[in-house]
Amino acid sequence: MQPVAVIGAGPYGLSAAAHLRARGIPVRVFGEPMVSWQAHMPAGMLLKSTPVASNIDAPQPGHTLVDYCDEAGLPRLVTDEDIIPVETFVGYGQWFQQKIVPDLERVRVVSVDGRPGGGFELKLDSGEQFTARAVVVATGLSGLSRLPSELAAAVPDGPSPAGPVSHSAQHHDLTRYADQDLLVVGAGQSALETAVLAAEAGARVRVVARGRRSVAFGAPPWDQPKLRPESPFGRAWSLYAFSYHAGGYRHLPAATRHYLTRRVLGPLGAWWLRERFERKVEAREVRRIVTTGTRDGRPVLSLETLGGRARELAADHVIAATGYRVDLAALSFLGHGLRARLATSRGTPKLGAGYVSSVPGLYFTGMLAGSSYGPVMRFVCGTEFASPRLAGHLAAAHRGA
């Protein structure tokens, strides 16, 4: 029987593979296990999500973060006050992979094309070519980092840690900026934590954020409002609905969905980061960055202050912690024929029930499914909603074929 190809070995790809296998569906899984966490996030990072919201979902018991801690002899991470080091989370993901997907293939998929009679033709960078009856795209953050034009202006050849401007996804070791003047652009957890870690490694760091009071931190668990329902992201009705009723999301009007996917759970530092930030990092809140140039090879930001005045800020380097944007055009492995058949909305795939796209047999999960299934798809805990539904849909389509 032709296998299902799962492209991606981060939390979503591994979880989808676990659910498909549990239904007896043959699966081939491709990618570097947990590479986004290991290579594209800073060393020493702590997860913003709580332990209960950081499980990679599996159909069989024994695969939670706590199970991993027990087996690895690590302290149990259980309460909302237990903070997960990224190194522990990478270890958890790799352990999950070895238990459930031991035959993971650490190769890249270079192309996926539809076959005339149904099914898909895949090419791997190993040179192998094979046919799959269905494809699950779980490529997560890969290739989706976003650099706004006012920062891109300084780096016509693209961002780079060795040049004037880089993207936060290009960093793992921030010690290279020790003793340097660093500007970090952004106000999300990634910006604030990158700034703190670089400052703790000896850089002089300023965070440049758009808008008054844009640098803010969440409430600690003991100060969360008690009369609102609990969700993996904190206590709030909206967060509860997005977490447990993600299935209704795709029925909202498109403009509302795109707005909510961007704005809900938007920029906010974790409660435990505030003190470290205030000790070491300076925040510059501005109306906007107008453009970025270079002077003697050093980046210079031209800004408009909150009061409307023009200002310049120079540094040795700028890190743009400006996030990620889903755009199918960035998934270069999707063949032109397939791309032309995909129904999209603002560059994102329009998905139906069970995460299937408009091309039968082609599924998208994780961040790529965010505009259809909501902001929870940007986080690991979304695997609990996504994976059983995706596997259930694929299994039913398989039975009906």
Question: Which residues contact ligand FAD (rule: CB under 6 A)?
Answer: 7-13, 30-32, 35-36, 41, 47-49, 108-109, 138-142, 190, 333, 366-367, 378-381
Q: What is the distance between the alpha carbons of residues 226 and 136, in angstroms, rounded to a whole number? A: 39
**Is residue 198 helix, strand or coil?**
helix
Min dist CB 192 to ligand FAD, Å, is 10
Smaller CB distance to ligand FAD: residue 36 or 261?
Answer: 36
Q: How far is the CB of 271 from ligand FAD (least distance, A)?
A: 13
Q: How far apart are CA 109 and CA 123, in angstroms?
A: 6
Among residues 185 and 303, whose Cβ is nearest to ligand FAD? 185
Nearer to ligand FAD, 109 or 246 (CB): 109
Other CB atoms closer than 10 Å to residue 17's CB: what's the count? 28
Alpha carbon distance, N-terminus to C-terminus of the chain: 12
Rg (CA), the chain: 22
Q: Which residue is nearest to ligand FAD (CB)?
A: 140
Q: Answer for the pair 215, 196: CB distance below 8 angstroms, yes or no.
A: no
What's the rounded Cα separation, in Å, for the pair 99 and 101?
6
Q: Which is nearer to ligand FAD, 16 or 303 (CB)?
A: 16
CB 376 within 8 A of CB 242: yes
Cβ at position 175, least distance to ligand FAD in Å = 17
Nearer to ligand FAD, 244 or 291 (CB): 244
Closest to ligand FAD by CB, 88 or 300? 88
Instruction: Report the largest interatomic distance among the alpha carbons of the chain, rounded to a whole angstrom.
Output: 66
For the bound state, the minimum distance from the C-beta of residue 47 to ligand FAD, rounded and expressed in Å, comes to 3
Token pair for 121: 């033709």
Single-letter residue type at 296? D
Q: What is the nearest approach in angstroms of ligand FAD to the Cβ of residue 49? A: 3
Q: In this complex, which beta carbon is closest to ligand FAD, that of residue 139 or of residue 348?
A: 139
Q: Which residue has the tokens 């690991």?
A: 380
Token readout for 45 is 């990072």
**Closer to ligand FAD by Cβ: residue 67 or 384:** 384
Which residue, 215 or 300, has its beta carbon nearer to ligand FAD?
A: 215
Handedness of CA 179, 181, 187, 188 (dihedral sign): negative
- Residue 396 CB, shortest distance to ligand FAD, in Å, is 23
Structure tokens at 385: 């909603």
Work out how close the CB of 201 gets to ligand FAD at its nearest, in angstroms, rounded to a whole number: 16
| Closest approach of ligand FAD to the CB of residue 399, in Å | 27
Whether the Cβ atoms of residue 340 and residue 13 lie closer than 8 Å to each other: no
Q: How far is the CB of 93 from ligand FAD (least distance, A)?
A: 8
In angstroms, what is the minimal distance from the CB of 332 to ligand FAD?
Answer: 8
CB atoms within 10 A of CB 170: 16
Instruction: Please identify, using beta-carbon distances, which residue of 88 and 142 lies nearer to ligand FAD.
Output: 142
Which ranges in 217-267 belong to alpha helices (H)? 237-244, 254-263
